[in-house]
Structure 1
Amino acid sequence: MSSTTGKSFKRPLIASSAAAALLGTAALMAPAASTANAATDTSPVAVCLTGNTSTTNEITVKLPQVAVEPVLQATPSYLGPCASYGTPTALGNGNVRTYAQQDNSGKPLSIGFVFPKATLQNLPTTMSDRHHCYDIDGNGTIDEHTECMGGHELPLDLPAALTNTPGVPYKWALMNFNLMGHGPTGIYDVQHFDFHFYVQPKAERDAIRPGPCGLAINCDDFATATKPVPSQYMPAGYIDNGVAEVAMGNHLIDQSSPEWHNQPFTRTFIYGAYDAKISFLEPMITKAWFDGLLAGTNTNGCYPIPQPQSWQIAGWYPKDYCLRYRANRGDFTVSMENYQHS
């Protein structure tokens, strides 16, 4: 995280005279607004100031409330503190990477995925990357629709600044693009993305073998994946439908989610489980929802994550997940926010 000091603030601004001018404008705006309306909240707001969408020239500054929106409209800056980033991986005409925003103590404020709008163009046109397939019917051929799982997967590293922070249980991330969705039929069989935040080590996840049970999973591993999660760790309102998958584990379903009540699937939140433990947290979002954010027919927003009574691994856990399109940067974010320590 960058600190806001006179010295730290000069170097990045050399690359952006426009940003420097905006800071000067902000300084002039604040007292005028305060005089016009004494009730206006003038407490400073953290903004990550940048003159371009590169992640190499970002600096956290504090601006008066009245200056924030003009700066965000005029530059690709965003509400701070500045993020740390994982390694980008190509998808479509763009890429996907993880990011994290933390306060000065290291507490996570936002952990998520970020990708430019170009990522939604020229997406894969096949059902699967064939990384996780099994000849379930034994006929000597692989049917990508029924015998391959995971769609197109992108394993991603999380920022080192995040994973090196004590009390952060997340180890890595995984994004999946599903061209025609997946089962159950009539529920999740529409084009969508899965955004996994794993507390399970990647080596353990990778060891979940293919086989003829469940969703192309080894039968012994299916039994391990579907071991009941103790009730105090089971998220409120979630049920186990036995949806265990190769290289992923079981999927616990929010039975109150609209798609289970005769409404179209748009977005939902899934918990993963393996060997009676929560293994990942997963917002699952349709491509159509992102298209709507870009078009302005859907609005940016945050949605509550149902919580268990307690967590098996102590640490920081989110109470909301958020979906946003940032027009000034031309990118989308899918994040978990509103963290509390368990």
Structure 2
Amino acid sequence: MRSRAKKSLTWWGILASALAVTGMSVLLWPVTPAPATAAVQSTAAGSGSGTVNLCLATKAAPTHEYPIQVTRWAADILLKETLSYEGTCAAYGAPSALGNGNLRTYAQISGGKPRTVGIVFPKSTLNNLPTAMTDGNHCFDMDDDGTVDEHTECVGGHERPLELPAALTGLTGMPLKWALVNYNPMGHGPEHIYDSPHFDFHFYIQPKAERDAIRTGPCGLAINCDDFETATKPVPPQYLPQDYVDNGVAEAAMGNHLVDMSSDEWHDQDFTQTFIYGAYDAKITFLEPMITKAWFEGLATGANPNRCWPVKQPQEWQIAGWYPQEYCITYRANRGDYTVSMQDFKHSAA
């Protein structure tokens, strides 16, 4: 017992000394918050110098988050032993239940600029997920036989509309308005491409009322035929990112899906993750990382790495504003949660 207590005291003593350099104490809340406009600052890993902006959260008070600035080595300890994370403290949207957990949006903002926009959910969300093909909210008797086949006449999986944090949507030049997560227990078409259990993480430019007005019907993927025509109007080439094509996969309560034909799943490799652009009425309407359940599970076991991928950009955006240059998928072991985020925002003119 004495040995264990001595080790604990030594650890806390070292950490307290590290935090004291920046006027902080592990036993007290921050006296002087880190500058709200500062981006994460650090030197190369292992250099032992430089400072890092963290959002401090403890296991004793997990919902209380405070910005601090510490040395790199102290940050590494905090990121392992507490619920802290790098960057500015996040603003959050309201949670929505799924599985044994929930989903909620978050945004890290500094200097009037979005740094990270994403969706976070605990590891427990992957347990006890729905097993039926869809929630039945978007179905249509396409063959007019008096019954609805959930496998061929319903779309949308199990959907969870989410509000983005007000701090984000209130930013000047922020085109994103709301978010939507769809869990697809059996995947969806095209067959042998996206027919494995996966999540669709939509970040919408299109207002929710307009999306909700896309009706069910007998065309495309259970979409109203007039709405199918609107959904598949060609996006002008200057607004279409390289390698993205219209495969005619327009669906009710969603719009069209433009796929990246250079993505692995179109070249005899298994689908794990990809990035989709949504379109309706010749406009880009949503940005969508699409990720398999198996990829998330591999993150938690260490079989898959935390990493980011580039978001291909059009020559021009139809709406001026902040747009992400990369998307990232991570598992945060200290918090026991997953994040799907868009980062490295740049302001683009229309």
Q: Deviations over 1:250-303 (max 9, x none)?
A: 000100001001111000000000000000000000000001001110010001
Tell me the residue number matched to 2:252: 246
- Give the counterpart letter for 2:73 in structure 1: V
- C-alpha distance in structure 2 between counterparts of 1:269 and 1:195, whole Å: 10
Q: Counterparts of 1:1-342 in structure 2 under 5 Å?
A: 24-27=16-19, 40=47, 42-52=49-59, 56-103=63-110, 105-342=111-348
- CA change 1:255–1:303 in 2 (3 A) is same
- C-alpha distance in structure 2 between counterparts of 1:225 and 1:262, whole Å: 28
- C-alpha distance in structure 2 between counterparts of 1:322 and 1:81, whole Å: 17
- C-alpha distance in structure 2 between counterparts of 1:252 and 1:223, whole Å: 15
Which stretch has the larger CA shift, 43-52 or 185-194? 43-52
CA contact (8 A) 1:171 1:199 kept: yes
- Give the counterpart letter for 1:325 in structure 2: Y
Three-state SS of the structure 2 residue aligned to 1:137 is: coil
CA contact (8 A) 2:163 2:178 kept: yes
- Give the counterpart letter for 1:88 in structure 2: P
CA contact (8 A) 1:53 1:76 kept: no
How many Å apart are 1:27 and its aligned residue?
Answer: 3.6
CA contact (8 A) 2:136 2:150 kept: yes
CA contact (8 A) 1:127 1:144 kept: yes
How many Å apart are 1:24 and its aligned residue?
Answer: 2.2
- C-alpha distance in structure 2 between counterparts of 1:338 and 1:20, whole Å: 35
Identity %: 64
- C-alpha distance in structure 2 between counterparts of 1:20 and 1:317, whole Å: 42
Three-state SS of the structure 2 residue aligned to 1:69 is: helix
Listed as ranges, the gaps of 5+ residues in structure 2 are 1-10, 23-43
Q: Deviations over 1:190-210 (max 9, x none)?
A: 000000000000000000000
- C-alpha distance in structure 2 between counterparts of 1:318 and 1:55, whole Å: 29
How many Å apart are 1:66 and its aligned residue?
Answer: 2.0
Q: TM-score, normalised by structure 2?
A: 0.87
Aligned residues: 316
- Give the counterpart letter for 2:188 in structure 1: H
- Give the counterpart letter for 2:309 in structure 1: Y
- C-alpha distance in structure 1 between counterparts of 2:247 and 2:215, whole Å: 20
How many Å apart are 1:28 and its aligned residue?
Answer: 6.3
Three-state SS of the structure 1 residue aligned to 2:238 is: helix
- CA change 1:274–1:44 in 2 (3 A) is same
Q: Deviations over 1:51-72 (max 9, x none)?
A: 1386631001111122111111
Three-state SS of the structure 1 residue aligned to 2:142 is: coil
Q: Deviations over 1:148-180 (max 9, x none)?
A: 000000000000110111111100000000010
CA contact (8 A) 1:170 1:197 kept: yes
CA contact (8 A) 1:51 1:76 kept: yes
- C-alpha distance in structure 2 between counterparts of 1:68 and 1:189, whole Å: 41
CA contact (8 A) 2:57 2:63 kept: no
- C-alpha distance in structure 2 between counterparts of 1:126 and 1:63, whole Å: 48
Which stretch has the larger CA shift, 66-75 or 219-228? 66-75
- CA change 1:296–1:243 in 2 (3 A) is same
Q: TM-score, normalised by structure 1?
A: 0.89
- C-alpha distance in structure 2 between counterparts of 1:256 and 1:114, whole Å: 28
Q: CA RMSD in A?
A: 1.9
- C-alpha distance in structure 2 between counterparts of 1:312 and 1:21, whole Å: 55
Listed as ranges, the gaps of 5+ residues in structure 1 are 1-18, 31-36
